[in-house]
Every structure is written in structure tokens, then in C-alpha cells.
Amino acid sequence: MAYRRWPHTEEERRVIRRYGGTPLRKYGTDGILLSHPVEVRSIRKDDRYRIQQDVHRNLVRNDGSYIFVNDGRSKVMLAEDASKLMGRGPWYKDWKYPHKFLKEGDVW
């Protein structure tokens, strides 16, 4: 079975490079930052960042982090710290994958 390639956006690659990381061009996390996986999250239509359950668990398990982006600014946060902000409540399942949200004000 061929490994599926997933084209991460140029914005994600640019942000990861800005922090000295290495963007990935394969399916999975967006890149590597300080030898750990990193995922870029942007606000698109409202004031929340969508956190995908399987990606989040992978980041926590591997000491990974998020780079949150909004209005030209960006911030790195450990996935473990994002877990604390999200709390222990259930994951939403109204999409194809379970997810939670972090509000913009919680990140900044």
C-alpha cells in the first residue's frame, strides 16, 4: 500500500520554518519543532481553534506542541498545556473526527 501524501498548506510550512522547525509533506503532523511533532492551528470562521482528538493525543504522547496563528501573530504552546485549557469534558463528534475547541482568549 502506498503511503498517502498530504499537502500541508504553505502558511503552515512558513510558520513552522519561522520557529526553526522542519515542515513535513506527508500525512500526519504538520512538522517537527525541537525534535518533537508540531501542529499549526489557525482561526478560520469564528474565534476558536479546532483541536482534533487523534492528533492531540499523538502530540501529548510525543511531547509535541501547537503553533496557534491568528491576525498575523503566532504562539507556541505545548500540547499538554492545551489539554489543561480544554479540560476533561467529552470530545465533540459532530464531524468525521472527535474534536474540542480552544477559544482565542484562552490561547492569548
pLDDT at 2: 40
**pTM given for the model:** 0.85
Give the three-state DSSP class for 15. helix
Residue 4: pLDDT over 90: no
Q: Where are the alpha helices (DSSP H) in the chain?
A: 10-18, 53-61, 79-86, 104-107
pLDDT at 6: 44
pLDDT at 87: 87
Q: What are the structural domains of the chain?
A: 10-107 (3.40.1350.10)
Residue 20: pLDDT over 90: yes
Burial of 60 (0-12, 13-18, 19+ CB in 10 A): middle
Residues 32-91 pLDDT 10s: 999 999 999 988 778 899 999 999 999 999 999 999 998 888 999 999 999 999 988 899
Contact 41, 107 (CB under 8 A): no
